[in-house]
Amino acid sequence: MDQATLTRSLLYLDGINVTFDGYKALRGLSLTLEPGEMRAIIGPNGAGKTTMMDVITGKTRPDEGDVYFGGSQDLTQLDEATIAELGIGRKFQKPTVFESHTVEDNILLALKAPRKAIATLFGRAAADQQSRIDRILETVRLSDHRDRFAADLSHGQKQWLEIGMLLAQDPKLLLVDEPVAGMTDSETAQTALLLKAIAEDHSVIVVEHDMDFVRELGVKVTVLHEGSVLAEGPLEAVSADPRVVEVYLGR
């Protein structure tokens, strides 16, 4: 373990192995994220991108390897709720929102506030709660839909709602899995703008297949392949890397 890198990093993954029924989904994956950094992750289908997020958020326990957050928290020992409370938020590849709640209630549930059962049962709402919800709905442009059931939203709107929930959580680190899948070009561009705005005061990891979108973000790119890092650097550099070309075009 590289102590210096560890203490400097916000997120530190080292030598992660994950096996499903004999299939190695992650093989010795290592990756570090600096505080305040935005990172794009690309890689062909099945490269292990989602699995990596599962490991970070406590859904999947690695067979081997270290996962540290903020230089000291060992994430492999914590459960999902604790990790979320530490300040790691996640948007899923398939949009998952609370279908039988209204758009507004979805944001309300995600809003940063005490999470204990006692608090939600007897606690009073924070004074600025409504204004925060309004602001977030504004940002993800769902103000007009606030009273609709999330189940009735379109696919793209659900994506936005999930991003809104992520904002409401106000995490230190955002893990965003394929945020623009199923969006139109203009929506994609707007999402890129939004993410860049978020990245100003948050750390972000974005997984995306859409190269234009990744180019738009203009950040350091990590290429995953078969469960480990194949290349890392600016998009121009990695897309010139013959191994990356091979992985993407050779099949």
Ligand X SMILES: Nc1ncnc2c1ncn2[C@@H]1O[C@H](COP(=O)(O)OP(=O)(O)OP(=O)(O)O)[C@@H](O)[C@H]1O
Residues 173 and 171: their CA atoms lie apart, in Å, by: 5
How crowded is residue 36: how many other Cβ atoms within 10 Å of its Cβ?
A: 13
**What one-letter code names the amino acid at 34?**
E
Nearer to ligand X, 95 or 104 (CB): 95
Can you tell me whether residue 39 is helix, strand or coil?
strand
* Contact pattern from residue 146 through residue 185 relative to another protein, giving x for each residue in contact according to CB under 8 A and a dash for the rest: ---x-x-------------x---x----------------
Among 25, 40, 50, 169, binds Mg ion (CB under 5 A): 50
Q: Which of residues 93-152 bind Mg ion (CB under 5 A)?
A: 93
57 touching Mg ion, by CB under 5 A: no
Nearer to another protein, 59 or 220 (CB): 59
Least spacing, CB of residue 169 vs another protein, in Å: 6
Contact window for Mg ion (CB under 5 A) among 80-88, 89-97, 194-202, 234-242:
89-97
51 touching Mg ion, by CB under 5 A: no
Residues 160 and 212: their CA atoms lie apart, in Å, by: 19
Cα-based distances in Å from 99 to 149, 151, 153, 243: 6, 4, 9, 43
Do the beta carbons of residue 234 and residue 42 sit within 8 Å?
Answer: no
Nearer to ligand X, 168 or 223 (CB): 223
Note the maximum CA span of the chain: 60
Bridge partners of 174, per DSSP, are 89, 204
Nearer to Mg ion, 52 or 165 (CB): 52
Do the beta carbons of residue 244 and residue 47 sit within 8 Å?
Answer: no
Nearer to ligand X, 18 or 103 (CB): 18
**What one-letter code names the amino acid at 148?**
R
Q: What residues line the site for another protein (CB under 8 A)? A: 20-21, 57, 59, 79-81, 84-85, 89-90, 92-101, 105, 108-110, 115-117, 120-121, 123, 125, 149, 151, 165, 169
Q: What residues line the site for ligand X (CB under 6 A)? A: 20, 23, 25, 43, 45-51, 93
